[in-house]
Amino acid sequence: MLPHVMDVLSPLPGETVVDCTLGRAGHAVELLRCVGPTGRLIGIDCDGESIAAARDRLAQAGANFTIRHSNFAALGQIVGELAPAGADIVLADLGMSSMQVDDSDRGFSYVRDGPLDMRMDRSRGRTAAQVLATIPAADLAAAIAEFGDEPHAERIAAALVDARNQHPITRTSELIAVIGRALDVAVTRETGWQLQPHRGRWRSHPAARTFQALRMLVNRELASLQELLRVLPQCLRPGGRAAIISFHSGEDRLVKAAFQDGLNKRAYEAVGQEPVRASEAEKLANPRARSAKLRWAKRPLREAR
């Protein structure tokens, strides 16, 4: 989605940019290059393990950047401290990075066995294994349905509760096995990446929705997004632009509603009415982009009276 991000944000020399999901600085490097030596980039990420790599990449692209190890829900506080006049650009690329998924020790992957962690920030909070050990069945089913859009949420939740009563679920392979039994499907490593077009649709792993739901539950992702959207207009300078990439229908609904509400209240002068989607070529090259939706908003140059 990088070309689309650059197109809607149109970074200019001398501007101040905030990347709320710094990761390994894929977007940030290009943004920093565009704003140049007179501009500035502020990077935020709750995953402290990505920050060292991001710092090295940014140092090669430009010197004027600051990184904060924090959740983007703290955007208002961080901008107030580092850019009191506001930012010209704010970007948030929600969900996981490829590096997080590919690291089996993080517990995000349903095709690699590893400890059932799923925390974006491993320095704090409860792991997915700890959450699964205590969450009531009804709450678990509601989370899997809401965050995972899983039609068999109650069946999966009941199976997980039965399984944990016999033995703690501490590894991703154990979680996958329970989901497979609940759905009555044979789950193997080969079923993990069914991400090739099939009759015009993309096929995904049977455990994908439950994994997504647990990750969002563990990291309180929707609550953090709501706070980001609440403070976002006040963090932008007049004429400032914001772009948010979401991968989940619930996230996209929140972004769409917040941007439309800001437009109605004249906090924004323009918003993208339809999400920008990845091209078919990009989906084939990067299957994880298939569900990405990019929405943007722009602050007015002058405050409404």
Domain ranges in the chain are 2-93+222-298, 104-219
Using 50, 70 and 90 to split pLDDT, how confident is the model at 289? Answer: low
Of 157-171, 252-266, 278-292, least confident by mean pLDDT is 278-292
Which pLDDT belongs to residue 292? Answer: 83
- Whether residue 176 is predicted with pLDDT greater than 60 in this model: the reply is yes
Highest mean pLDDT among 44-58, 105-119, 220-234, 290-304: 220-234
The per-residue pLDDT of the chain, averaged, comes to: 88
Q: In Å, how far from its chain's centre is CA 263?
A: 24
- The correct answer on CATH 2.60.40.10 for the domain covering 2-93+222-298 is no
Write the pLDDT tens digit of every residue in 74-118.
Answer: 999 999 999 999 999 999 999 777 777 777 888 888 888 999 999
- Is 80 exceeded by the pLDDT of residue 173? yes
Q: Does position 198 have pLDDT exceeding 50, yes or no?
A: no
Cα gap 302→278, rounded to integer Å? 33
**0.75 exceeded by the pTM?**
yes
Mean pLDDT throughout 253-274? 95
- Find the range with the poorest average confidence among 16-25, 47-56, 255-264: 47-56
- State the pLDDT at residue 192: 45
Q: How far apart are the first and last CA of the chain?
A: 36
Q: Residue 300 pLDDT more than 80?
A: yes
The model's confidence at residue 203, banded by pLDDT at 50, 70 and 90, is low
User: Which of 217, 104, 109 has its CA nearest to residue 157?
Assistant: 217
Rounded-to-integer distance, Cα 78 and Cα 56, Å: 22
Q: Give me the CATH code for the 104-219 domain, please.
A: 1.10.150.170
Picking from 9-23, 58-72, 126-140, 278-292, which range would have the lowest pLDDT averaged per residue?
278-292
* 84 CB neighbour count, 10 Å cutoff: 7
Length reported for the chain:
305
- The answer to which of 46-60, 75-89, 186-200, 274-288 has the lowest mean pLDDT is 186-200
Mean pLDDT, rounded, for 246-273: 93
Residue 207 structure tokens: 């455990």
In 3D space, the residue among 31, 29, 26 whose CA is nearest the CA of residue 7 turns out to be: 31
pLDDT tens-digit map of 126-141: 999 999 999 999 999 9
Average pLDDT over residues 141-157: 94
Worst-scoring range by mean pLDDT, 1-5, 21-25, 242-246? 1-5
Structure tokens that stand for 241 in this block: 């632009």
Write down the pLDDT at residue 195.
36
Round the CA-based radius of gyration of the chain to a whole number and report it: 20
d(CA 18, CA 92): 9
Question: What was the pLDDT predicted at 287?
Answer: 61
What pLDDT, on a 0 to 100 scale, did the predictor assign at position 68? 95
Q: How far apart are CA 107 and CA 152, in angstroms?
A: 22
